[in-house]
Amino acid sequence: MSGYRSGTIAVFGRPNVGKSTLINRLLGHKLLITSAKPQTTRHRILGIKTTAATQFLYLDTPGLVWGGKGALARQMDGAAASAIAEADCLVLVAACPRLQDDDERALDFVKDLRKDRPLILALNKVDRMEHKETLLPLMEGLAQRGIGDEIIPLSARDGSNVLALEAVIARRLPEQDALYPEDQLSDRGDRFVAAEFVREQVFRRFAKEIPYVTTVDIESFREEKNIVRIEAVIYVEKEGQKAILVGQGGAGLKMVGSAARRALERHLQRKVYLGLWVKVRKGWSDDARALQSLGYGGDN
């Protein structure tokens, strides 16, 4: 197919700048989980968008934290670094109104690593800039420093200028045939998405301490004629955390379950039964073997 373009785009940056929200917006549907808490994304996940002229292979990555403690933190940084090392095109996401120290760190990190690959700076969250007139000087300052090939201000939340980013990416992908079948949407299956959608609700609904000590394991996933039956376990590290998550009379768990089920029904376009349990597994996040059995690793 002459003139067709296809390639991988690593979307990276510090936690919480809106990488996953941006990719969902670019894809036109919700594949990735998002929350107001940093370090929501824990895996490298491929989201695929195929058009008549281009196949976009977006790699979502965990926010770069550098030197975080424990096996999970190392796994997350590794997953991001591998995506950055391999991709055809790099999109560094930062958030308005200004670059922070950790954004500068991400820039330093790719400076030599990028070699001659395109680097695009996506300045997300323009919608929350109170003084729009400060955007231009910010962009000019960054342009003067020679940061990236293009700087695109946008809002992943309301969609402003996201198409401009897509157009810039399309121009910079290599000319080659599509790498994936045109109907494939991700490298992850529905089982993985189910676990993620449950974890998203834990991130969104609980105070800061709880989300980081939880992970979700799908024990069974059965597609029946009229319904998809899913049984999932939320693992925490301590009994006290389990009590918080379950809540009085199971109210906390019920809230998580019904919101996750609704999101899954939209994603699968099917009716879903979601059974949820909470179990304690001490030290899972710093145990390399436990991590592997819970689906972490293998991203690098």
Ligand X SMILES: Nc1nc2c(ncn2[C@@H]2O[C@H](COP(=O)(O)OP(=O)(O)OP(=O)(O)O)[C@@H](O)[C@H]2O)c(=O)[nH]1
Residues within the interface to ligand X (CB under 6 A)? 15-21, 34-36, 38-41, 62-63, 124-125, 127-128, 155-157
Q: Which stretch binds Mg ion (CB under 5 A): 13-21, 83-91, 136-144, 290-298?
A: 13-21
211 binds, among Mg ion, ligand X, none (CB under 5 to 8 A by kind): none
State in angstroms the smallest separation of the CB of 92 from ligand X: 11
Shorter beta-carbon distance to ligand X: residue 15 or 247: 15
- By the rule CB under 5 A, 20 interacts with Mg ion: yes
Does residue 218 contact residue 191 with C-beta atoms inside 8 Å? yes
**If binding is defined by CB under 5 A, does position 41 make contact with Mg ion?**
yes
Closest separation in Å from C-beta 29 to ligand X: 15
CB of 28 to Mg ion, least distance (A): 18
The residue of the chain with the least Cβ separation from ligand X equals 63
Residue 50 touches which member of Mg ion, ligand X, none, C-beta under 5-8 Å by kind: none
Residue 127 interacts, among ligand X, Mg ion, none and using kind-specific CB cut-offs from 5 to 8 Å, with ligand X
Strand partners, 229: 222, 273
Q: How far is the CB of 22 from Mg ion (least distance, A)?
A: 9
- Candidates 33-41, 114-122, 262-270, 292-300 — which segment interacts with Mg ion by CB under 5 A? 33-41
Q: How far apart are the C-alpha atoms of 136 and 73, rounded to whole Å?
A: 36
Rank residues 46 and 230 by Cβ distance to ligand X and give the closer one. 46
Interface size with Mg ion, residues (CB under 5 A): 4
Q: Does 39 bind Mg ion (CB under 5 A)?
A: no
* Least separation in angstroms between CB 119 and ligand X: 17
Task: Mark residue 218 as left, alpha or beta (left: phi above 0; alpha: psi -120 to 50; beta: remaining).
Answer: beta
Region from 40-48, 201-209, 227-235, 265-273 binding Mg ion, contact rule CB under 5 A: 40-48
- What does 54 interact with, of ligand X, Mg ion, none (CB < 5 to 8 A by kind)? none
Considering the complex, what minimum distance in angstroms separates the CB of residue 231 from ligand X?
A: 26
Q: What is the DSSP string of the chain?
A: -TT-EEEEEEEE-STTSSHHHHHHHHHTS--S---SSS----S-EEEEEE-SSEEEEEEE-PPP-SS-SSHHHHHHHHHHHHHHHH-SEEEEEEETT---HHHHHHHHHHHTTTTTS-EEEEEE-GGG-S-GGGHHHHHHHHHHTT-SSEEEE--TTT-TTHHHHHHHHHHHS-B---SS-TT--BSS-HHHHHHHHHHHHHHHHS-THHHHT-EEEEEEEEE-SS-EEEEEEEEESSHHHHHHHH-GGGHHHHHHHHHHHHHHHHHHTS-EEEEEEEEE-TTGGG-HHHHHHTT-S---
**Minimum CB distance to ligand X smaller for 159 or for 298:** 159
Torsion region of 232: left, alpha or beta (phi above 0 gives left; psi -120 to 50 gives alpha): beta
Nearer to ligand X, 32 or 264 (CB): 32
Residue 283 Cβ vs Mg ion, minimum distance, rounded to whole Å: 25
Q: Where does this chain bind Mg ion (CB under 5 A)?
A: 19-20, 40-41
